Amino acid sequence: MTSALDAADWQADLDLIADASRKAGAVALSFFGQSPEVWWKQEGRSPVSAADYAANTTLEDMLRAARPGYGWLSEETDDDPARLDCETVFVVDPIDGTRGFIAGLKTWCVSVAVVHKGRPVAGCLVAPALEEEFLARADGPALKNGAALVVSELSPHVRLRIAAAEDTLHGFSPDKRSRIERVAHVPSLAYRIAMVADGTIDGTLVKRNSHDWDLAAADLILERAGGGLVDLEGQALIYNRAEVSHGVLCAANTALPDLLKSLIASGRG
């Protein structure tokens, strides 16, 4: 149980990361549609733009100055193993969905979480091109633009709207596939998970090699909206480990057990 003091502390942290995310979002938005310079990392498989770096600088300057005792883990900052000695850590993706950002798609967001003892306790996603903001605190509701979020309800006779790459579903049995309506791919993983939280879709399947910064904020938002993000053992994720990548995951509303069984049966683990 979170104490009253802890709750007050996490609200202060949520207010802090929300303010920083809005400012970083405004910085990123100033580059949007302006053909920012782009570089390639991870052997040419992952782009990073001048907008990513500028937004990261805004976040790092604001957050680390405000909480010097917190650790720091960002996609666009060289990892410092000193974070492993910190109980509380900022986990940051200055632009989640950089490919979409570069392509002119609006479904990208600034993702910031406060992780305490391995789990997110405050999370914020700001999608400035869509004028959307998602917030959650460990003991409070998930909010979208100030309104409480609740995941979609599941009926046994309704097809599931799932955001997933086509090849992710290949191993599903015909009866399972007949219940799935695959929706268009959204490059931002954090935003896809937020779509589950706000009931736009029923679930999303996550291929292996997602990272803490893609997931932590959206994980908390989905949890507080009544859904879940878990691995194939059905376990919640632990963040701020030495290894920050994850295996195959599933994020969903109350369809989660059925989707997990399907994933396991298909050999996706």
Same domain, yes or no, for 173 and 119? Answer: no
Same structural domain for residues 164 and 255?
yes
* Residue 154, in any domain of the structure: no
Q: Whose CA is closest to 224, among 148, 132, 127, 163?
A: 148
Question: Could you say which of 113, 148, 183 is where a domain stops?
Answer: 148
Q: Which of 68, 32, 40, 37 is nearest to 50 (CA)?
A: 37
Confidence at residue 123, expressed as pLDDT on a 0 to 100 scale: 98
Task: Assess contact for 214 and 111: CB atoms under 8 A.
Answer: yes
Q: Three-state DSSP class for 76?
A: coil
Backbone angles phi, psi at 125, to 5 degrees: -120, 125
For residues 259 and 127, membership in a common domain is answered with: no
CATH number at residue 243: 3.40.190.80
**pLDDT at res. 5:** 46
- What is the band of 8 on the pLDDT scale with cuts at 50, 70, 90? low
> Is 12 in the same domain as 144?
yes
Q: Is pLDDT larger for residue 69 or for residue 164?
A: 69
Task: Give the residue, 3 or 32, on which the prediction is more confident.
Answer: 32
Q: Are residues 123 and 166 in the same domain?
A: no
Q: Are 251 and 196 in contact (CB under 8 A)?
A: yes
Please report the pLDDT score of residue 266 as a whole number: 72
Question: Residue 159: helix, strand or coil by DSSP?
Answer: coil
What average pLDDT does the segment 123-149 reach? 97
What gap in Å lies between CA 172 and CA 258, rounded to an integer? 11
Confidence of residue 166 (pLDDT cuts 50, 70, 90): low
CB 217 within 8 A of CB 110: no
Is 80 exceeded by the pLDDT of residue 196? yes
Phi, psi of 86 (to 5 degrees): -100, 130
115 and 234 inside one domain: no
| pLDDT (0 to 100) of residue 64 | 98
Query: Measured between alpha carbons, how far apart are the two ends of the chain, in Å?
Result: 33
Domain residue limits at 170? 160-265
Find the CATH number of the domain harbouring 17.
Answer: 3.30.540.10
Give the model confidence (pLDDT) of 215-249 as tens digits.
Answer: 999 999 999 999 999 999 999 999 999 999 999 99
Residues 79, 205, single domain; the answer is: no
Instruction: Specify whether 73 is located in the same domain as 174.
Output: no
For residue 88, give the nearest of 118, 52, 129, 63 by alpha carbon: 118
Report the alpha-carbon distance of residue 172 to residue 179 in Å, rounded. 11
The pLDDT score that the predictor gives to residue 255 is 83
Residue 135 lies in a domain: yes
* Residue that is last in its domain, among 148, 170, 198: 148
In terms of domains, do 189 and 80 share one? no
Regarding whether 138 and 230 lie in a shared domain, the answer is no
pLDDT: is 89 or 207 the higher one? 89
Nearest to 30 by CA among 58, 68, 71: 58
Domain membership flag for residue 117:
yes
Q: What is the pLDDT of residue 269?
A: 45
Residues 6+ apart with CB under 8 A from 241: 84, 118
> What is the average pLDDT across 157-175?
70
Of 65, 57, 8, the C-alpha closest to 28 is 57
Express each pLDDT in 70-107 by its tens digit: 999 999 999 999 999 999 999 999 999 999 999 999 99
Answer with the one of 122, 148, 174 that is the final residue of a domain. 148
In single-letter form, the type of residue at position 114 comes to V
Whether residues 129 and 29 fall in one domain: yes
Task: Indicate the average pLDDT of the chain.
Answer: 90
**pLDDT of the residue at 193:** 96
pLDDT at residue 25 above 70?
yes
CB 227 within 8 A of CB 204: no
Q: Are residues 140 and 213 in the same domain?
A: no
Please report whether residue 155 resides in a domain. no
Domain count, the chain: 2
pLDDT, tens only, 27-59: 999 999 999 999 998 665 789 999 999 999 999
Residue 144 lies in a domain: yes
Asked if the structure places residue 253 within a domain, the reply is yes
Average pLDDT over residues 150-157: 74
